[in-house]
């Protein structure tokens, strides 16, 4: 039985990941462990490209690397013909170290430092998504000093609240991101960019939010961007060549979540933009979309080993695993819901368990209520849909070493990110005479 693409229940009831037994992966690579079915990532990437071709608009898909980035992932994105969205010079650094072509990278951020901008421009970044008027000027200064002309998109906050978790709604007029579409501020930004000799204005960018399930917010975003392009032509006299519409497609973490398909999402977001422009007799700019979560989330699971099992006075059974909020902060941050299965018997059972982590915090609950067969200490538990914003958001809280990452591809499992060791924790500490030597080394660039 298939649970997610590439993740299924085998004939003996065991959990299979890319055709391999989850139990064997846990034994070989240890726990906690992030495991990806690489084929599933590639399928999603292809699905996006196929759906965009189907609605026949010139379009590119920039994978939002904040969802999950490793050298291997950057290579997968490159091989599948994607662009990459990075949100810091660190992500840019990793991506280019993987050999990802810098000219296919979009650089985001509401507070890029001058050093970050310099690093990106110097290394030939494809687009910078400018977040403010001040940043447009800063890009001009840096590009001019480097003797470059930099292609720039201007991020707008279009005033759309997509009714997702508050922390994930980025399209509102008072968002910390972008230039609000308010009293012509976005047109002022265009005029400024057009005046800058070393800035090439390519178009607008918007990203209304993340983990969105309702089609209407994407339609509204598409229509609103259409109006902004019309505005720009009328008020600034230019019709931009490109439009970046962000990501945001919601993913089902538990069976109750009802997700849109990639096709429905592309049609709602890009189709509504296209229709709006064609009604006005305007041409279609080249489109970028920036999916992150929907490309990697369901391709990933986390394997844990079960330790202590307790019965509470309330009768509730508590099952503690060898990871927790340090490798998955999402339940704590967004009240995110998950489903888990036993690796040896991957089906729902009759027994109710609260799955907690080992971090020293009472709120460190991964799953409030999981229905499982009888669980024993030493069992391997697989939490589903952990491919997006897990490894990338993991921390060393309680000095827990960060788990490793393994990809399964073409029937073979291989490590992609090494599990941290206690040595890694020690290596970043500065003691005694090292202090002086390292003081000059604190800047990253």
Question: Given candidates 35, 67, 120, 260, which one binds ligand LLP under the rule CB under 6 A?
Answer: 67
User: Does residue 158 bind ligand LLP (CB under 6 A)?
Assistant: no
Question: Could you give the CA distance from residue 320 to residue 304 in angstroms, rounded to a whole number?
Answer: 9
* Region binding ligand LLP by CB under 6 A among candidate stretches 52-60, 62-70, 259-267, 397-405: 62-70
Site string for ligand LLP, 389-408 (x = CB under 6 A): x---x---------------
**CB-CB contact of 247 with 12 (8 Å):** no
User: Which is closer to ligand LLP, CB of 295 or CB of 320?
Assistant: 295
Question: Could you give the CA distance from residue 87 to residue 64 in angstroms, rounded to a whole number?
Answer: 8
Question: Could you give the CA distance from residue 212 to residue 200 in angstroms, rounded to a whole number?
Answer: 32
Report how far Cα 65 is from the mean position of its chain's Cα atoms: 5
Distances (CA, A) of 268 to 52, 60, 115: 11, 16, 38
Q: How far is the CB of 115 from ligand LLP (least distance, A)?
A: 21
User: Which is closer to ligand LLP, CB of 284 or CB of 393?
Assistant: 393
> Is 360 a known active-site residue?
yes
Question: Given candidates 6, 78, 271, 291, which one binds ligand LLP under the rule CB under 6 A?
Answer: 291
User: Does residue 210 bind ligand LLP (CB under 6 A)?
Assistant: yes
Interactions with ligand LLP, residue window 92-151 (CB under 6 A): 108
| Residue 272: burial class (beta carbons within 10 Å; 0-12, 13-18, 19+) | buried
Question: Could you give the CA distance from residue 343 to residue 33 in angstroms, rounded to a whole number?
Answer: 13
**CB-CB contact of 268 with 260 (8 Å):** yes
User: Which is closer to ligand LLP, CB of 168 or CB of 425?
Assistant: 168
User: Which is closer to ligand LLP, CB of 172 or CB of 330?
Assistant: 330
User: Does residue 290 bind ligand LLP (CB under 6 A)?
Assistant: yes
Q: How far is the CB of 393 from ligand LLP (least distance, A)?
A: 6
Q: Are strands 83-86 and 59-64 parallel, antiparallel or unpaired?
A: parallel
Q: Are strands 380-383 and 300-311 parallel, antiparallel or unpaired?
A: antiparallel
User: Does residue 60 bind ligand LLP (CB under 6 A)?
Assistant: no
Residues that contact ligand LLP, how many (by CB under 6 A): 23
Q: How far is the CB of 145 from ligand LLP (least distance, A)?
A: 27
| Residue 365: burial class (beta carbons within 10 Å; 0-12, 13-18, 19+) | middle
φ/ψ (deg, to 5) at 179: -100, 125
Question: Could you give the CA distance from residue 216 to residue 220 in angstroms, rounded to a whole number?
Answer: 6
* Region binding ligand LLP by CB under 6 A among candidate stretches 267-275, 276-284, 290-298, 408-416: 290-298
- Tell me the CA end-to-end span of the chain in Å, nearest whole number: 50
Helix segments in 178-328, DSSP class H: 185-195, 215-236, 262-266, 272-279, 293-296
User: Does residue 34 bind ligand LLP (CB under 6 A)?
Assistant: no
Q: Which residue among 243, 266, 340, 360 is the active-site one?
A: 360
Interactions with ligand LLP, residue window 297-356 (CB under 6 A): 330, 334
**CB-CB contact of 343 with 373 (8 Å):** no
The owner of tokens 């490109």 is 242
Question: Given candidates 38, 60, 80, 85, which one binds ligand LLP under the rule CB under 6 A?
Answer: 85
User: Does residue 65 bind ligand LLP (CB under 6 A)?
Assistant: no
User: Does residue 386 bind ligand LLP (CB under 6 A)?
Assistant: no
CA angle 294, 74, 218 (to 5 degrees): 30
* Region binding ligand LLP by CB under 6 A among candidate stretches 44-52, 205-213, 224-232, 279-287: 205-213
Question: Could you give the CA distance from residue 385 to residue 427 in angstroms, rounded to a whole number?
Answer: 32
Question: Given candidates 70, 294, 302, 394, which one binds ligand LLP under the rule CB under 6 A?
Answer: 294
DSSP state of 106: E
User: Which is closer to ligand LLP, CB of 29 or CB of 389?
Assistant: 389
User: Does residue 379 bind ligand LLP (CB under 6 A)?
Assistant: no
Secondary structure class of 178 (helix, strand, coil): coil
User: Which is closer to ligand LLP, CB of 157 or CB of 340?
Assistant: 157
Q: How far is the CB of 355 from ligand LLP (least distance, A)?
A: 18
Q: How far is the CB of 284 from ligand LLP (least distance, A)?
A: 21
E-strand spans in 384-439?
404-409, 412-417
Q: How far is the CB of 67 from ligand LLP (least distance, A)?
A: 5
Interactions with ligand LLP, residue window 258-287 (CB under 6 A): none
**Residues at the contact surface with ligand LLP, assessed by CB under 6 A:** 64, 66-67, 85, 108, 168, 170, 207, 210-211, 246-249, 290-294, 330, 334, 389, 393
By annotation, the residues acting in catalysis are 360
């Amino acid at each position: 039985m298939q649970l997610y693409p590439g993740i299924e229940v085998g004939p003996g009831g065991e959990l299979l990941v890319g055709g391999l037994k989850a139990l064997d992966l846990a034994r070989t690579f240890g726990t906690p462990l992030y495991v990806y079915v690489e084929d599933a990532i590639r399928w999603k990437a292809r699905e996006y490209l196929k759906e965009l071709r189907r609605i026949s608009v010139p379009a590119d898909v920039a994978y939002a690397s904040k969802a999950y980035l490793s050298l291997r992932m950057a290579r997968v994105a490159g091989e599948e013909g994607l662009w990459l969205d990075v949100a810091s010079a660190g992500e840019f650094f990793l991506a280019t170290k993987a050999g990802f072509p810098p000219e296919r990278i979009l650089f985001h951020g509401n507070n890029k430092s001058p050093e970050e901008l310099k690093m990106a421009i110097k290394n030939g970044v494809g687009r910078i998504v400018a977040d403010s008027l001040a940043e447009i000027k800063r890009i001009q200064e840096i590009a001019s000093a480097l003797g470059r002309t930099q292609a720039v998109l201007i991020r707008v906050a279009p005033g759309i609240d997509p009714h997702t978790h508050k922390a994930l709604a980025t399209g509102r007029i008072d968002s910390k991101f972008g230039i609000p579409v308010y009293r012509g501020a976005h047109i002022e930004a265009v005029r400024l960019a057009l005046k800058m000799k070393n800035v090439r204005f390519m178009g607008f960018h918007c990203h209304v939010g993340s983990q969105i399930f309702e089609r209407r917010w994407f339609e509204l975003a598409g229509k609103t961007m259409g109006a902004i392009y019309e505005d720009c032509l009328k008020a600034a006299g230019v019709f931009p060549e490109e439009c970046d519409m962000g990501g945001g497609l919601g993913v089902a973490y538990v069976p109750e979540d009802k997700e849109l398909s990639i096709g429905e999402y592309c049609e709602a977001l890009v189709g509504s933009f296209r229709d709006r422009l064609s009604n006005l007799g305007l041409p279609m700019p080249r489109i970028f979309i920036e999916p992150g979560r929907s490309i990697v989330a369901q391709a990933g699971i986390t394997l844990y080993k079960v330790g202590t099992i307790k019965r509470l006075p309330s009768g509730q059974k508590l099952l503690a695993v060898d990871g927790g909020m340090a490798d998955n902060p999402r339940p704590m941050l967004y009240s995110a819901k998950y489903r888990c299965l036993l690796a040896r018997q991957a089906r729902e059972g009759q027994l109710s368990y609260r799955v907690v982590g080992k971090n020293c915090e009472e709120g460190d609950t991964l799953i409030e209520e999981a229905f499982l067969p009888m669980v024993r200490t030493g069992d391997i538990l697989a939490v589903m849909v952990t491919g997006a914003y897990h490894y990338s958001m993991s921390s060393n809280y309680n000095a827990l070493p960060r788990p490793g990452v393994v990809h399964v591809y073409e029937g073979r499992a291989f490590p992609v990110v090494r599990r941290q060791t206690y040595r890694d924790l020690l290596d970043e500490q500065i003691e005694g005479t090292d202090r002086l030597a390292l003081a000059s080394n604190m800047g990253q660039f």
